[in-house]
Structure 1
Amino acid sequence: MTQITNAKNLASSLIQRMAWESQCKPLLKSYGVAISLGAEATKLKLFNEFDKSELYAQKFITNLHNHYLDVLYSGDCTLQIFKEEKLKFNSLYESVTAITPAKTIATKFFPYGVATDDLSALSEKTELTFKAVYNGKLYLFFSTNRTITERTNINPKLLRESDDVTKFLQKYSSITAFTDIPRQYLDMVCLNPEDCTIEFRLDTSSAVAFKDIEKLFAELRVAFRDLLPPSHKPNILKQPVNFFPLIDSLYTNKNCRVCELSFISADGYVHSDRDRNKTDNGDIRMEDFHIGGVDKCEITPYKISTRWPSSFNPKLKYDYELSLNSTFRELSKLEEKFLGYAVITACPSISDMEEILNLLKTEDELSKVS
């Protein structure tokens, strides 16, 4: 690929993967990139600049390539974690390191996403695309062309059409929409020898249906198992780590802001609070109902979204989000409450992801599934 093509693939993939308003837009501006009205318009403007100047394309790659790799290895994901015994894990790790990904159109474009014009050539089967060891962890990227229902937020002010529908939508400050457009997904499996865990990361944080999430995890586990020798297949991935016990601890954590919470009050009523944009600090625990904490309010949380502060540099700050989305139905169970996945949003760096993993991988829960 030429430098201009590489720059276009980088720009397209970076804009797709990184949160636009809070992260990608200010990051691009910090490198002197001219911003247009919205992500798509900015991408098209960049493409024009690349076509005019290969030197500009090279400069863009030099400045932004490492940022893209960071968000590729972290990013938005739905996460499931398995813990394995040390001897079993070491044998498994050795087997996987010997695997070589087959050459496909996804490997041709990697680390970038397959271009839209070539998407029809991408298989709907979940296939190993790339393998790498980074910071002692083994990362496996699996590519597929799939369609699932995802939630997306639209800023009507950025709509450019002048028809009646657009004019009507522009009366609103934000719109939540649902899409089911085919696209490439780069799901990930990460093997960590330090704690003998295997992380399964779906390449989405906005899947709507629980059945979709379960189906996608099952497909990724099957694709991973298919890489292994027959002796390994029946003896691994028996029970994911349970994240439900962490909901209470996230609610009381002083290092984050709680931006969404669903809970049952002492009188048996179900409440849902959300504060992503209403107040300056965006923490619903500052509302009257929550002052005093869980004990005073006598509430039982079952769904929570938390935001954590971070930065690209001292001047470019942002938040990333961790959500544990259980259901009211789970609270009614007599046996242990269970939540087998976590949702991570707007996480643009590996160091941020490590902070989240440190929260999720508690010794107590890891010991129960090892």
Structure 2
Amino acid sequence: MPIGDIAQSMRSRMPWPVGQKILRELNLARGQGWEQTVLKITTADVSEEKLADLNEALREHLLFGEKSTRIYELDDAAIAVCQTTAMSAVIESTAFSEAYPSLVAENQLAGLSSVPLLTAIEEDEEGTAFVFCSVRTIVVREPLGPEDFPGQSVDEIFESFDEIIGLKNRRLQAVDVVWIPNVAGRADVRVDFPAGMAHEAVEAAHLIVRNAFNTLVGEPILGDPVNLFPLIDRMYFDPNEGSVVEIGFGTTTASVKHEKMRRRGLSLRDESYHVGGKAALRTPIEPFRVSLVWSRPLGHGKFSFPELSLNSNSRVAGSAAPAMFSVIIRKCIGASDYDFVRERIEHHLSPPTAA
């Protein structure tokens, strides 16, 4: 696969903080941001071994990077159906499957399927990943300047507003993954959740991907997802579980608070204002939104910082049966980071009920 295609695919979907760490680990040249970096990579003399490593890094990001995840419990019979499907499924030749694990160029996405198409089947020691691709549209917010208003009274326009934002529809290739374990337990559905994509859109995408997979196997294998709302309390109140970098919570004084930690390496659990505020209350706070970050060594004094966001709201938290079916996992360098976060989720979930 041409190195230019790999570099452009990385630029299309990897946040720069993640991409530059991957390139540094592979000892490949980096510039200031993606534009300069793609140029350096494309014109570099890269060995076949480095090319293979770069291709594998991209493949892992397609499977594990920037995802909204739902979890489903499957029994032995459901697993058997999925395994039979994996052995017999035919992957049709499409623009997606021909490019995989690179992406189709953005200017070639018009007219391609908005319905998830089976693009690849990936197997490892623990299970099987069914990879679906489709075209998804997100709304991008872009600040506008005077140069965007030629021939008009620019001064009057900008005197009336502090900032002017334009909304632009952008086509993206979505890479969604249904991962099925080899034995009865919990399956993952990982839907692409790039920056700029609305929460409502990703929730709708989950339903579309679930239906696509159930149609593929010919049975409603994926039913109701696991309720992940209990993770909010369990992970926030565990002092050994990562660093809390964001929290939304209700108090006994009927107020709702939202706090963010700006400095890396610090946790809101230990921040003076947060600790003092909790101490002034008669009862514990009631979290409904928590983001946690872990620091994982990459070697040579460098670290990755995978992040898990558990996002609900005060209305749901105050209901009789609060539910949250999706979590957001971001900033994963590769499979290792995602698997680590997924293991922490599993640690705090109740044992699966599927037999």
Please confirm whether the aligned pair reaches a TM-score higher than 0.5, indicating the same fold: yes
AA in 2 matched with 1:249: R
Question: What is the DSSP-based 3-state SS (H/G/I as helix, E as strand, rest coil) of the residue aligned with 2:235?
Answer: helix
Match of 1:341 in 2: 326
Q: Is the 8 A contact 1:78 1:202 kept in 2?
A: yes
1:245 to 2:230 alignment: yes
Residue-pair matches, total:
338
Match of 2:15 in 1: 19
Check 1:179–1:203 CA distance in 2 against 1; reply closer, same or farther (3 A cut): farther
Question: What is the DSSP-based 3-state SS (H/G/I as helix, E as strand, rest coil) of the residue aligned with 2:9?
Answer: helix
Q: CA deviation at 1:15?
A: 3.2
Check 1:349–1:294 CA distance in 2 against 1; reply closer, same or farther (3 A cut): farther
Match of 1:285 in 2: 269
User: 5 Å matches for 1:127-138?
Assistant: 127-138=117-128
Inter-partner Cα distance in structure 2 for 1:177 and 1:242? 37
Match of 2:305 in 1: 319
Q: CA deviation at 1:239?
A: 1.6
Match of 2:41 in 1: 46
AA in 2 matched with 1:246: L
Q: CA deviation at 1:362?
A: 5.1
1:202 to 2:191 alignment: yes
Q: CA deviation at 1:328?
A: 1.0
1:9 to 2:5 alignment: yes
- Identify which range, 129-138 or 85-94, moves more after superposition: 85-94
Question: What is the DSSP-based 3-state SS (H/G/I as helix, E as strand, rest coil) of the residue aligned with 2:297?
Answer: strand
Inter-partner Cα distance in structure 2 for 1:285 and 1:77? 26
Q: 2:252 aligns with which of 242, 263, 266?
A: 266
Check 1:362–1:177 CA distance in 2 against 1; reply closer, same or farther (3 A cut): farther
Inter-partner Cα distance in structure 2 for 1:369 and 1:242? 14
Inter-partner Cα distance in structure 2 for 1:31 and 1:303? 36
Inter-partner Cα distance in structure 1 for 2:78 and 2:228? 24
Question: What is the DSSP-based 3-state SS (H/G/I as helix, E as strand, rest coil) of the residue aligned with 2:265?
Answer: coil
Match of 1:351 in 2: 336
Check 1:14–1:57 CA distance in 2 against 1; reply closer, same or farther (3 A cut): farther
Inter-partner Cα distance in structure 2 for 1:205 and 1:366? 31
Deviation track 1:150-179 (CA, whole Å, cap 9, x = no partner) reads 689x9xxxxxx99699xxxxxxxxxx9976
Q: CA deviation at 1:247?
A: 0.6
User: 5 Å matches for 1:10-159?
Assistant: 10-21=6-17, 23-29=18-24, 31-47=26-42, 49-50=43-44, 55-56=45-46, 58=48, 60-120=50-110, 122-149=112-139
AA in 2 matched with 1:78: S
Q: Is the 8 A contact 2:120 2:130 kept in 1?
A: yes
Inter-partner Cα distance in structure 1 for 2:123 and 2:172? 26
Check 1:163–1:283 CA distance in 2 against 1; reply closer, same or farther (3 A cut): farther
Inter-partner Cα distance in structure 1 for 2:140 and 2:345? 24
Using the size of structure 1 for normalisation, the TM-score is 0.80
Q: 1:223 aligns with which of 180, 204, 212?
A: 212
Match of 2:152 in 1: none
Q: Is the 8 A contact 2:115 2:135 kept in 1?
A: yes
What CA RMSD, in Å, does the superposition of the two structures yield over aligned residues?
A: 3.2
Question: What is the DSSP-based 3-state SS (H/G/I as helix, E as strand, rest coil) of the residue aligned with 2:309?
Answer: strand
Deviation track 1:229-272 (CA, whole Å, cap 9, x = no partner) reads 3xx23xx3222111110111221332411111000122110000
Question: What is the DSSP-based 3-state SS (H/G/I as helix, E as strand, rest coil) of the residue aligned with 2:340?
Answer: helix
Question: What is the DSSP-based 3-state SS (H/G/I as helix, E as strand, rest coil) of the residue aligned with 2:4?
Answer: helix
Q: CA deviation at 1:300?
A: 0.3
Question: What is the DSSP-based 3-state SS (H/G/I as helix, E as strand, rest coil) of the residue aligned with 1:91?
Answer: helix
- Identify which range, 310-319 or 265-274, moves more after superposition: 310-319
Identical columns (%): 23
Q: Is the 8 A contact 1:27 1:316 kept in 2?
A: no
Check 1:162–1:261 CA distance in 2 against 1; reply closer, same or farther (3 A cut): same
Inter-partner Cα distance in structure 1 for 2:121 and 2:48? 26
Match of 1:193 in 2: 182
Q: CA deviation at 1:351?
A: 1.8
Q: Is the 8 A contact 1:96 1:227 kept in 2?
A: no
Q: Is the 8 A contact 1:258 1:305 kept in 2?
A: yes
Inter-partner Cα distance in structure 2 for 1:341 and 1:117? 31
Check 1:257–1:362 CA distance in 2 against 1; reply closer, same or farther (3 A cut): closer
Q: CA deviation at 1:299?
A: 0.5
Check 1:32–1:93 CA distance in 2 against 1; reply closer, same or farther (3 A cut): closer
